[in-house]
């Protein structure tokens, strides 16, 4: 069984983990998305539901904030829209202007980015995105901690797409509660959140996951006996 299959099976995930890969050129035999999504994170949902495809820079122009976090240089019109969205967020007191400079962003030049179910990925993922219940993500976060790649930042992490450059830059992991935009575009349930980790940490995390899952089952039995 592959690490990807183990990850999904041990956590009993309803949706597949997603492999995100930034590449210089389109991967062979992988189609380009046929429709530009309203937000880059909408591509996550499609991949979690089983699709595999790649996107070019223009496929991210519909979401200026997501394009920014992915390191995409925006044309004048979309750049102005980004400034407008940020201005609205500041006016609504959703964030402070000084926070903007601290939003993680890819610094490398953008070629294409592929999205695929982790088990079907044909390229090594830069980032693995997992969505699930708080309990499932708790177990995954514990496995990452046991593997020595625990996240070191806040769980808020707005915008959610900033988790991608965050883990690429740290080489570790990040728990993300999801932002309201992401919840709309991906249909993330109220009781779901994300856990993202650098693709190079997949084997390490899965190696510890089985033991962590078993430990939680045993410890739950112990704790329930104490309150019965």
pTM of the complete model beyond 0.75: yes
* Phi–psi pair at 47, nearest 5 degrees: -70, -40
Report the domain count for the chain.
Answer: 1
Task: Using alpha carbons, list the distances in angstroms from residue 50 to 15, 43, 128, 167, 194.
Answer: 9, 11, 15, 23, 18
Encode pLDDT of 154-195 as tens digits: 666 679 999 999 999 999 999 999 999 999 999 999 999 999
CA distance 207 to 1: 12
CA distance 111 to 22: 7
Structural domain of 192: 3-227
Encode pLDDT of 1-27 as tens digits: 699 999 999 999 999 999 999 999 999
């Amino acid at each position: 069984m592959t690490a990807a299959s183990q990850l999904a099976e041990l956590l009993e995930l309803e949706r597949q983990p997603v492999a995100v890969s930034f590449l210089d050129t389109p991967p062979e035999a992988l189609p380009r998305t046929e429709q530009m999504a309203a937000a880059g994170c909408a591509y996550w949902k499609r991949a979690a539901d089983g699709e595999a495809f790649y996107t070019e820079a223009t496929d991210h122009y519909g979401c200026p904030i997501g394009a920014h976090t992915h390191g995409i240089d925006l044309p004048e019109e979309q750049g102005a829209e980004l400034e407008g969205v940020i201005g609205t967020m500041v006016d609504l007191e959703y964030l402070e202007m000084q926070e903007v400079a601290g939003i993680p962003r890819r610094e490398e030049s953008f070629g294409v980015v592929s999205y695929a179910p982790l088990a079907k990925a044909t390229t090594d993922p830069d980032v693995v995105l997992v969505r699930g219940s708080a309990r499932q993500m708790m177990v995954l976060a514990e496995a990452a901690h046991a593997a020595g790649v625990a996240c070191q930042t806040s769980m808020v992490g707005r915008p959610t797409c900033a988790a991608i450059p965050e883990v690429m830059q740290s080489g570790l992991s990040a728990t993300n509660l999801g932002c309201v935009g992401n919840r709309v575009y991906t249909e993330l349930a109220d009781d779901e959140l994300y856990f993202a980790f650098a693709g190079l940490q997949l084997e390490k995390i899965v190696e510890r996951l089985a033991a962590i899952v078993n430990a939680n089952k045993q410890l739950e039995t112990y704790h329930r006996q104490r309150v019965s």
